[in-house]
């Protein structure tokens, strides 16, 4: 089930209503390209439309001229920047014409089942023999993520596929698919303005565009792929690091609000950005930053919070040397050690000082995953309880059953457990693959609509 709280009213929708729907038309106007370069008309081949496109686009996969009435395994594979391999597979049967239409036919097994046009992408997981803590994250936005598709005769498990040399597998057809987070007309600019560090992504044209600051969590550094994708969908997006990057602080012992205010002022005064107000999108630790930016800056109009705390954690929030908000301290006694990593849902005291978002004018979209093992998914109740009644109308809360901590743009595979590079610890993120995939599609659509509606353009 997906639970949605709007203006204090609880609405429950059936999970089956969350169906995948095509995104905007491709920004890469390429023809359908087959895997078969031979001119022989009897050879089997795969087509994907679009074969080159944006990461959040739905694709159509078809298999042609295969043997009739046989079992086929469709196998997907991709590597991250560390050369860790992720794999998926679906089991299909060809029709009387030797054809498979992945958009209409059910997978009978593998890493996903049922009619799942994008199942080969969202059900990816670390391949046999790969580190289970691997995360598929795109670090170089100037290059595509290359997905390799292969079709094998028979129904083969991933264990079977990876236990033998490729030369021993009966491959009927193969094809590479390019998925980009950065549209071909999007410009990437590294930013060093005053104290502000980051990367700005701009759509094609003179603008002005709706501006968005994008932040992630306690990994530190820059994670650019979402900002690149936001720019591909029409926003001027500033990927804003706040520690462990260049000359920024090395840790989270303190947070300086003045740094974030400087970033707000810089982006909102950019000649290609609408100056009447900007938005913020943030995940995990970044949510705290987004909330206090909305609370203290009149230039913030729209805030998207993805699985984060409504209070400051770790170090204090300061401004001009004075403490604005005390940082809640983690309790080691309330951490739970599991087979998949640390469960931190009860690690921070609920009675911490709530960030006073009612002091600002921003509207809020709060996205909460019910199977998140890093954040207590009901902490939004503490935020709502602290808000005056008139502010609650500006807050929309959407909860997703079965989704894990790391809600990302559509079709990126679930990351259930990972290593935090800043601290070297294994964390349990949680989530169930299908529920998580549904939540990512729904939440991304909501994020884009929310930003377009609530960032002023006049």
Residues serving a catalytic function are 284, 372, 405
Other CB atoms within a 10 A radius of the CB of residue 10 amount to: 10
**How far is the C-alpha of 86 from the C-alpha of 317, rounded, in Å?**
39
Handedness of CA 6, 12, 17, 20 (dihedral sign): positive
DSSP 100-118: EETTTSPB-SBS--BS-TT
> Quick check: 213 and 280 in contact, CB under 8 A?
yes
Which residues are CB-neighbours of 134 under 8 A, at least 6 positions away?
80, 82, 84, 86, 126, 418
**How far is the C-alpha of 103 from the C-alpha of 63, rounded, in Å?**
11
**How far is the C-alpha of 146 from the C-alpha of 423, rounded, in Å?**
30
> Quick check: 281 and 230 in contact, CB under 8 A?
yes
* DSSP one-letter code for 97: T
- Start-to-end CA distance of the chain, whole Å, equals 38
Q: Are strands 254-256 and 316-319 parallel, antiparallel or unpaired?
A: parallel
Pick from 93, 108, 113, 89: nearest CA to 161:
89
What is the chain's alpha carbon radius of gyration, rounded to the nearest angstrom? 23
DSSP 184-248: TT-EEEEEEETTEEEEEEE-SSS--B-EEEEE--TT-S---HHHHHHHHTT-EEEE---SSSTTS
Handedness of CA 334, 242, 325, 299 (dihedral sign): negative
Consecutive H or E run containing 445? helix 433-454
Q: Is 142 exposed, middle or buried (0-12, 13-18, 19+ CB in 10 A)?
A: exposed
**Which runs of consecutive H residues, i.e. helices, occur in 301-416?**
380-386, 389-392
């Amino acid at each position: 089930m997906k639970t949605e709280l709007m203006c204090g009213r609880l609405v429950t929708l059936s999970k089956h209503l969350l169906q995948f729907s095509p995104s905007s038309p491709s920004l890469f106007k390429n023809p359908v390209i087959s895997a078969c370069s031979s001119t022989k008309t009897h050879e089997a081949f795969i087509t994907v439309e679009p074969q080159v496109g944006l990461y959040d686009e739905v694709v159509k996969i078809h298999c042609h001229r295969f043997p009739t009435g046989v079992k086929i395994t469709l196998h997907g594979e991709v590597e991250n920047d560390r050369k860790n391999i992720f794999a998926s597979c679906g089991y299909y049967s060809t029709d009387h014409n030797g054809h498979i239409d992945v958009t209409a036919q059910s997978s009978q097994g593998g890493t996903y089942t049922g009619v799942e046009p994008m199942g080969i992408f969202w059900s990816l997981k670390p391949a046999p023999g790969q580190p289970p803590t691997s995360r598929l994250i795109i670090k170089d936005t100037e290059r595509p993520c290359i997905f390799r598709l292969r079709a094998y005769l028979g129904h083969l498990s991933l264990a079977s596929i990876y236990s033998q040399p490729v030369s021993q597998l009966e491959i009927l057809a193969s094809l590479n698919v390019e998925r980009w987070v950065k549209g071909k007309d999007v410009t990437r600019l590294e930013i060093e303005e005053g104290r502000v560090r980051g990367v700005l992504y701009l759509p094609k044209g003179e603008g002005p565009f709706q501006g968005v600051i994008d932040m992630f969590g306690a990994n530190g550094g820059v994670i650019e792929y979402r900002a690149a994708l936001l720019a591909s969908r029409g926003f001027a997006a500033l990927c804003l690091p706040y520690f462990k990057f260049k000359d920024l602080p090395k840790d989270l012992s303190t947070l300086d609000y003045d740094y974030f205010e400087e970033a707000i002022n810089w982006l909102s005064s950019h000649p290609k950005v609408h100056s009447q107000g900007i938005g913020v999108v943030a995940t995990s630790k970044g949510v705290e930053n987004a909330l206090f930016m909305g609370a203290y800056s009149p230039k913030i109009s729209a805030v998207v919070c993805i699985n984060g705390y409504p209070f400051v954690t770790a170090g204090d929030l300061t401004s001009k040397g004075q403490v604005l908000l005390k940082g809640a301290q983690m309790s080691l006694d309330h951490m739970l050690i599991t087979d998949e990593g640390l469960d931190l849902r009860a690690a921070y005291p609920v009675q911490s000082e709530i960030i006073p978002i009612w002091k600002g004018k921003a509207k809020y979209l709060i996205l909460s995953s019910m199977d998140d093992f890093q954040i207590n998914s009901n902490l939004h109740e503490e935020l709502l309880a602290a808000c005056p009644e008139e502010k609650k109308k500006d807050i929309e809360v959407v909860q997703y059953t079965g989704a894990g901590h790391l809600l990302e743009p559509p079709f990126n595979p679930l990351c259930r457990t990972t290593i935090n590079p800043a601290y070297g610890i294994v964390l349990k993120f949680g989530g169930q693959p299908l529920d998580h995939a549904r939540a990512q599609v729904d939440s991304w659509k909501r994020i884009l609509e929310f930003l377009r509606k609530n960032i002023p353009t006049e």
